[in-house]
Amino acid sequence: MDASNFQQRGILVALSSPSGAGKTTLTRRLLEHSPNFMLSVSVTTRSPRPGEGEGRDYYFKSRETFEKMKEADDFLEWAKVFGNYYGTLQQPVMAALEEGRDVLFDIDWQGTQQLTQKMGEDMISIFILPPSMGELEQRLYRRSQDEESTILDRMSKAVGEISHWAEYDYVLVNEDLDKTLHKILAIIQAEKLKKSRQLGLETFVKGLMEFV
Amino acid sequence: MDASNFQQRGILVALSSPSGAGKTTLTRRLLEHSPNFMLSVSVTTRSPRPGEGEGRDYYFKSRETFEKMKEADDFLEWAKVFGNYYGTLQQPVMAALEEGRDVLFDIDWQGTQQLTQKMGEDMISIFILPPSMGELEQRLYRRSQDEESTILDRMSKAVGEISHWAEYDYVLVNEDLDKTLHKILAIIQAEKLKKSRQLGLETFVKGLMEFV
C-alpha cells in the first residue's frame, strides 16, 4: 500500500502572476501533466473575446444574472475589475475537494486573498515572477500587435500585480518553463504529503499497530 | 537570475522512522544527492560499536564531558535513552543555517520534538513508515543475526516510535526506496521555494519594480 492510495483531501492551488510571466502556458502544462487537477472556470459579465469558449475560458453571464448569483451566495469569491464582474463558483470547488480532486485557480491577487480567507488550509498560493521587467515587456510585445500605450498600460498593471508577491506561500521566478513547471509539481507533491492532507493515514497506522 | 541564486536560509530536516523502515539508506542517498546537506552528527556517551567512526557516526564522549557540555548549553537537544546520553551540538547547526546550508537529522521522536520547539520555522519533520509490520519484521531478521527476543524487542520499540507519527509535518510510506527518496527531495525543494525561506526575494522584486 502506497501513500498515494490513501484517501486524500483535494488541494486548491491559486496561481498568480503579471500578464506575460508565463502563467497561461504553465496552467495548460500543469493540467496536461496532472489529470487529478481541474481548472476552476470563472463567471464573468464581460463579453467573450474572439476564440474564447463558454464554459472553457469563462461562463459568460449578464450583469443581472451575476448579481442574482451573488445574492444566492453562489460565489467563493468575486470582484469588480474595470467595470466587469468576475467570480468563482462555490459548488464545483467543494465537490472536487470532497472527491479528492485538486483545483487550479488562474486568478489575480484579489481573488487569491478572498479564496485564502475562505478556504484556509485547503488553499496554497503560488506567485510567478518574470526574470526581469525587460523580459516581460518583450513577451508582451511579441504576443500582441498592441499600440505602445497598451503595452505601457499592461506594464503598469504588471507592477501592481507584482506588488502583492509577499501575500503568497510560494514565489517562483520563471526563467525556464520546464524548470518552473517541475518546481510547481514538486510543491504540489510535497503539499499532498503533508500529514494533514492524508486523510487515510490514521487508519493505515492503526492497521500497522494491530499487527503486533 | 534564477530563484536558486537568491540568498537563502538553510533548512533543518528531521527524518525519523522505526528501525528497519529504510531511514539509514534514505539518509545516505539524500546526502549523496544533495551536496548542500550536511548530516548532524550526535554526541553520545555510549560505547562505539564495531565499524563506527568518531565524528562520522557519533562523537563519543565520557559521561563527565557530556554533562559539562550540557551545563555549558552546547546542545540544541539532548536525551537519556536506556542509560546513555545523546545530544545534538548547537554550534554547527547555527553556522550551517547562516551559511545557507541544510542540515539533516537522523533522529527519534524525542529529538524531533525538542528541535521543533527550539528551531521553529527553520525545521521540517518527516516520518517514514514501513509498508507493513510484517515487512519491517522481515527487514530486521534479514539485517541481523539477532535472537528472536531482540527482534521482538525491536518490534516493540518500532511500535513506540510509530505511535508518534502525528507529530510530524510529512508522513511517507516507504514502499519503494527510489520513490520515497524523490518524495523527500520534492518536499525539500518545495520548502525552499517558500517565500519565507528566500531571503533575497525582496531585493529581487525591488529591482524588478525599479525598471518601470
pLDDT the model gives residue A5: 64
pLDDT of residue A1 exceeding 50, the answer is: no
Q: How far is B107 from chain A (nearest CA, A)?
A: 19
pLDDT the model gives residue B151: 80
Mutation to test the A interface, candidates B6, B171, B192, B201, most A Cβ within 10 Å: B171
pLDDT of residue A205 exceeding 70, the answer is: yes
Q: Which of residues 76-135 of A touch B (CB under 8 A)?
A: 129-134
Q: Which of A19-23, A28-32, A166-170, B136-140 has the lowest mean pLDDT?
A: B136-140
pLDDT the model gives residue B1: 43
Mean pLDDT confidence for A34-56: 93
Q: Which domain holds residue A170?
A: 3-40+101-205
Q: How far is B171 from chain A (nearest CA, A)?
A: 6
pLDDT the model gives residue A3: 45
If one counts the domains in chain A, the total is 1
Confirm if B102 and B123 have CB atoms less than 8 A apart: no
Confirm if A39 and A104 have CB atoms less than 8 A apart: yes
Residue B123 domain flag: yes
Q: Which of residues 143-182 of A touch B (CB under 8 A)?
A: 155-156, 159, 162-163, 165-166, 168-173, 175-176, 179
pLDDT of residue A20 exceeding 90, the answer is: no
Identify which of B129, B134, B175 has the shortest CB distance to residue A211.
B134
Residue bearing the bigger pLDDT, A78 or B157: A78
pLDDT the model gives residue B86: 94
pLDDT the model gives residue B9: 83
- β strands within A102-185, DSSP E: 102-106, 123-129, 170-173
Residue A51 domain flag: no
Q: Is B59 on the interface with A (CB under 8 A)?
A: no
ipTM field:
0.80
How high is the mean pLDDT of chain A?
Answer: 90
Measured in whole angstroms, the distance separating CA B85 from the mean position of its chain's CA atoms is 18
CATH of the domain at B168: 3.40.50.300
Ordered mean pLDDT values, 10 residues apiece, chain B (212 residues): 65 93 92 94 94 93 97 94 92 92 93 93 95 85 70 85 94 95 96 90 88 63
Mean pLDDT confidence for A100-121: 93
Q: Under an 8 A CB cutoff, do A134 and B211 touch? A: yes
Closest alpha carbon to B89 in B44, B30, B46, B127: B44
Q: What is the three-class DSSP state of B58? A: strand
